[in-house]
Structure 1
Amino acid sequence: MRRITLESRRAAGWLALLLAMQGLVSCGGGGGGGGGGGGTGFAGPVTTQPPAPTAQEACTGIQGMSIAASMIGKPTSGAIVKSATFVAADAKDNTNGEYCAVTGIIVPATAGAPTMEFQVNLPTQWNERALHMGGGGYDGTLVTGLGAYVSQPKGTPNALAQGYVTLGGDGGHKGAVFDGTFALNDEALLNYGQLSVKKVHDVAMAIIQKRYGAKPRRFYFIGGSQGGHEGLDAAARYAADYDGVIANYPAYNLSLLQQASLDVGRALYDNGGAGWINDNKRKLLVGAVHAACDSLDGLTDGIVGNIQACNAAFNINTVKATLRCSGGADTGDSCLSDAQINAVDKISSPYDLGFPIAGQQVFARWPLLEGGDFSFFGAGSALGFAPVPTSAATPPVDALLYTIGAAHVRYFVAKDPLLNPLTYDPANFKARLQDLGGITEVTQQSLEAFRAKGGKLILTHGTTDGLISPHNTEDYYDLQLKQFGQPGVDSFIRFYMIPGFDHGAGRYNLGYDGLTVLSNWVEKGQAPDTVASVDNNAADPATARSRPMCRWPLWPRFTGAAGTENNAASYTCTAP
């Protein structure tokens, strides 16, 4: 008892001393009297905090990170970080500043399905924003996020260099850009059709929060072709995750697109290739279109800008009247046979499947009679090398549209690698095609949630795209007009049709500061109207010609003086 009493007294004494010291500190710190706040001479207890980790240490700390399946909004077995590599600002060939490159895999939900690769790049000087970059073709290659986004002006800083976290995936499988074999696996097909966007996004969010201790203030998406399709998925299916999307030449209406593509291939290759158009005949047709249409936009420069006027000046009837071989049989490279004219008509007319897929039955015409040259990304013909297809997996040995259409019906539709695409009848696979519509299409996915949250969508397409018709994106825009009306659409969507731009290439290879345009719209309310662009074909960006991007349905008419053809200010956006 005595020991407890003594200890109690000692404790009370120490408490009294501490209270007295507190009082002295309070009196000395007020500064209201004559003492001037000089203090008491007593110091409180010193606590030592561990130093914050360096950027390199923070990067290394992500190595081996596991992300639980519960943190990913679609079915997986979780994700694993395989590497976290610190890249110094002065590292060889690095133009992106100091960052941490994180790579890993998302483990499939079902046994036997392929893993999904991802990469997330974490800048040391983060601007609290993230950019998800889309894939292309049938995916299968990791999008690293280290390079330029689609249609970024040549010579400008990449998003990572601007402080954005950048990220991408491989679509959920490995393979060549036109290899459709992955679609034999149901989970891989579902990932490609709609789920890979969400899975990569959610994994990236977990990594971002581990590195910075915070979520991005803004999350954007930019992609082209299949990446444009993924962008539409981001806006329509995952509106809560994204603030702004740019979908360049999107692979919208995917299943119908591939049915129409195969129909073009059959027009070329049926009857022993009677309709096949060799490179000389292709150039003959393209030259005739340009002779009739090039000047209709005010300038003869190899670009057809006034599409509506061109439709009146040159069409399939013009082809029959001016280019048909005498008697209709093929008599050489200076004319087109009846079978070849039929192929031109197939390419240049809407395709009617005969039944709907996700509410859509008709696919838009391709622009072969509107200035499109059907070259293979500017090099040679996209119509193949011979009148008989080889079933090669990689164009341009066979016609580009045939190659991708054949892969689709073999692996997506029939699930039969030995199927002969030339004898395929879509009517025999109606149920399967309509099931695919629920996997790969966004035609029946509303943008209402995206609009309601303040999301912004920019659509671009080139008038000469010979892989995905520009009129397909026009159809998507028209669907939004039907739902929201023009004022509603204007509040959150912009659509730009670019004369002379093909599928990521073309006589005018579009470059524009899309990320700035999009972020200014989302964050500052600066809605874009006419947007400045440059031709990325120029070897030196400083000498690149410029053109205005006109809001659809306007088009750029040359109204300037001679010698100013390369200046965007010399063009006026004009109604059709």
Structure 2
Amino acid sequence: MRVSSIAGALALNLPLVFATPQPSFQSKCEALSTSFHADDAQVLVAAYVTAGTNITFPESAANTCPKFVISLADICRLRMNMTTSPTSSVIVEAFMPVDWSSKGQRSLMTGNGGLGGCIPYGDMVFGTSLGFAAIGHDNGHAGDNGLPFYNKPQVVKDYVWRALYKAGRLGKKAINHFYTGKIQKAYYMGCSSGGRQGLKAAQDFPDEYDGILSIAPAIRYEGLSAANAHYFKIFGVPGDATFLTLEQWQKVHQMVIAQCDGIDGVLDNVLEDPMKCEPRPEALLCGPGESWAANQCLTSAQVGAIREFYQPYYGNKGKLIMPRMNPLTREFLGFRVTYGGVPSYFSEGWYKYALYNDPSWSVAADFNLNTYDYDMKKDLFGVSTYKTDLTDLRNSGTKLLQYHGLSDGLISSENTITYYNDVSRTMGLKSSQLDDFYRFFPVSGLDHCYTGDGAWFVGGPVQYSAPGALSIDPSDGALMTMVNWVEQGIAPVTLMGRKLINGTVMGERAHCKYPAKQTYKGTGDPDVASSWECRS
């Protein structure tokens, strides 16, 4: 849902090196329109693009997908329409850089966000700047909304897993056809819905990739949809006794900081271990004769809603639907998407058009715990993405690296922590044994995929849209950390994070591998990584 900002940000951060056009590369690229053949795909565009070019896309003006991106390398752009069934198709793009053979002959599949209809061009051009041949797709429909699912189960199937699987195969086939050499290593990275896609690959077809970056994954999908609907129902709409304005949520944010920021020994607006934080919203309760306008306090109804918000969400028969929301968020993404007076487009779009095929259905009027039960029973095409036996992943030799922001205001980081621990129990493996193929890094001070008050920049998906990001050496970023693990056997113990504010790095922190806790040593500048250590 930040894709549209990526193009603009990239346009402002272009330390580009303009290469001399290579006629042989260009002519071979343009010839792809006739030289590349696949039974299920039609070539739409085969064009040579130089670094610095504003690449525009034919996506509809009616959707929120980006309409342009600035190329960061000289590339061959291949756009295809891939048929997946008689009633569905997927747009697939491959960006293949001139400088590929000397950079390891790698491919990079990129993940989608939200309801998945926007090609992640920003991540693709970043990948090409590092020499990856990058692949992206529209997940079988245009635009980040659920309407294309209406009475089209094959489009839903593409969204859940088939587009990822088939686009990956088609993209790699095109790359192998275009270059003299063959792909040596294949990688995947994505956040949110893209994180779910990464885990879908890890669970169901790990042989397709050598390394998978699955970030803040939207797994336990039915639970996430239900929780988003639940949050809207808790707070209601403007005018309801339980509703909080954005200004009031900012007061809640400050309340959490006041109550919990000191737990880790450093007052920096960052919670190193939010699971230790149990906010007490009653601290904001208005006394007799007090009001928000005069005293910046909240009513009993509002305080009760906040307390419910910060509790795990349980369904019928006491079944856990979703862990509690993180107690601290900076960007208030959840307010804009989930509990700001409008039902979550993510939940409502799924329920209306994929689950019920009923445009008259609404979260406000129709959602209840039975909705979740029905969604779980159907589990359309395996959308839950919650298989906890990763034996096939382990046996394939594929590496899985995850991180999740501990200030995520849209998908609770406890959801990923729970998944990791469920994998440990299911497989009967201690963390030291999971380490061979699966490592997870909680990232303090990171909101949903992007931005935050802490050392949030770790060089992962969508993050390179930030001002100043392209000037940071990517060698210790999440993507190249994965490459080093796969290709050199250098398994990460920490994940370097940077506090990136308005284009300037203001501090660093080496985020610890779970279950170790990031702990302040008690002395030293908290913005210096050496002032912290990982403790079990």
Q: From 157, 165, 173, give the equivalent of 1:206.
A: 173
For the pair 1:172 / 2:140, whether they are aligned, the reply is yes
Contact 2:274 2:326 in 1 (8 A): no
Residue 535 of structure 1 corresponds to which residue in structure 2? 499
Paired residue for 2:128? 160
Question: Aligned residues, how many?
Answer: 474
Within-5 A mapping of 1:388-407: 395=337, 398-399=340-341, 402-407=344-349
1:99-120 CA-partner distances (Å, limit 9, x unpaired): 2111111124123x3x311110
Instruction: Give yes or no for the alignment of 1:459 onto 2:416.
Output: no
For the pair 1:135 / 2:103, whether they are aligned, the reply is: no
Tell me how far 1:458 sits from its aligned partner: 0.8
Q: Distance in 1 between matches of 2:445 and 2:343?
A: 20
AA matched with 2:32: I
Match of 1:523 in 2: 487
RMSD (Å) for aligned C-alpha atoms:
2.8
Q: Which residue of 1 aligns with 2:219?
A: 252
Q: Could you tell me which residue of structure 1 aligns to residue 464 of structure 2?
A: none
Q: 2:245 aligns with which of 259, 278, 284?
A: 278
Q: Distance in 2 between matches of 1:191 and 1:331?
A: 48
Q: How far 1:188 moved relative to its partner?
A: 1.1
Aligned partner letter, 1:567: V
Q: Does 1:97 align with 2:58?
A: no
1:55 corresponds, among 13, 21, 25, to: 25
1:113-167 C-alpha deviation (Å, 9 max, x unpaired): 3x3111101122322111111111111112236656xxxxxxxxx3212221111
The answer (yes or no) to whether the contact 2:82–2:92 under 8 Å persists in 1 is yes
1:292 aligns with 2:256: no
> Structure 1 regions of 5+ residues with no counterpart?
1-51, 70-77, 149-157, 377-381, 385-394
**Higher normalized contact order (CA 8 Å, seq sep 6+, divided by chain length):** 2
- How far did residue 304 of structure 1 move? 1.7
Which one-letter code corresponds to 1:334 in the other structure? Q
Distance of 1:428 and 1:128 partners within structure 2: 47
Superposition pairs for residues 362-373 of structure 1, below 5 Å? 362-368=321-327, 371-373=328-330
SS in 1 for 2:363: coil
Superposed counterparts of 1:21-36, under 5 Å: none
Q: Deviations over 1:359-396 (max 9, x none)?
A: x842111013xx224613xxxxx436xxxxxxxxxx48
| Superposition pairs of residues 355-394 of structure 1, within 5 angstroms | 361-368=320-327, 371-373=328-330, 375-376=332-333, 382-383=334-335
Equivalent of residue 476 in structure 1, options 389, 401, 419: 419
The answer to whether the aligner puts 1:350 opposite 2:350 as a matched pair is: no
Tell whether the 8 Å contact from 1:364 to 1:472 is kept in structure 2 after alignment: yes
Deviations 1:230-282 (A, max 9, x none): 11112111111111101111111111101111011101117962211122321
Alpha-carbon distance change, 65 to 341 in structure 1, aligned in 2, over 3 angstroms: farther
Using the TM superposition, give the Cα deviation of residue 463 of structure 1 relative to its aligned residue in structure 2, in angstroms: 0.9
Asked if 1:490 is matched to 2:464, the reply is no
Q: CA deviation at 1:200?
A: 0.8
- Aligned partner letter, 1:335: C
What is the CA–CA distance in structure 2 between the aligned matches of 1:452 and 1:109, rounded to whole Å? Answer: 31
Q: Matches of 1:574 and 1:79 in 2, distance apart?
A: 52
Amino acid at match of 2:519: R
Q: Which amino acid aligns with 1:180?
A: G
Q: State TM-score, norm by structure 1.
A: 0.76
**Match of 2:65?**
none
- Matched residue, 2:462: none
Partner of 1:46: none
Separation in 1, partners of 2:188, 2:406: 23
**1-structure distance, mates of 2:76, 2:118:** 21
Deviates more, 1:421-430 or 1:235-244: 421-430
Could you tell me how far apart the structure 1 residues matched to 2:290 and 2:418 are? Answer: 37
Counterpart of 1:181 (choices 137, 142, 147) is 147
Aligned mate of 1:565, from 501, 520, 526? 526
Structure 1's 401 and 519: CA in aligned 2 closer, same or farther, altered over 3 A? Answer: farther
When normalised by structure 2's length, the TM-score is: 0.81
Counterpart AA for 1:121: F
Alpha-carbon contact 2:508-2:527 (below 8 Å) kept: yes
Once the two structures are superposed, the pairs formed by residues 69-84 of structure 1 within 5 Å of their partners are 69=39, 78-84=40-46
Whether the aligned pair in 2 keeps the contact of 1:121 and 1:146 (CA below 8 Å) is no
Alpha carbons of structure 1 residues 141 and 65: separation in structure 2 relative to 1, 3 Å: farther
List runs of 5+ in structure 2 lacking aligned partners. Answer: 1-21, 55-68, 460-476
Q: List aligned pairs for 1:191-202, cutoff 5 A.
A: 191-202=158-169
Measure the CA separation in 2 of the matches of 1:499 and 1:353. Answer: 29
Alignment match, 1:505: 451
- Whether contact under 8 Å (2:388, 2:423) holds in the other structure is no
Q: What SS does structure 1 have at the residue aligned with 2:47?
A: strand
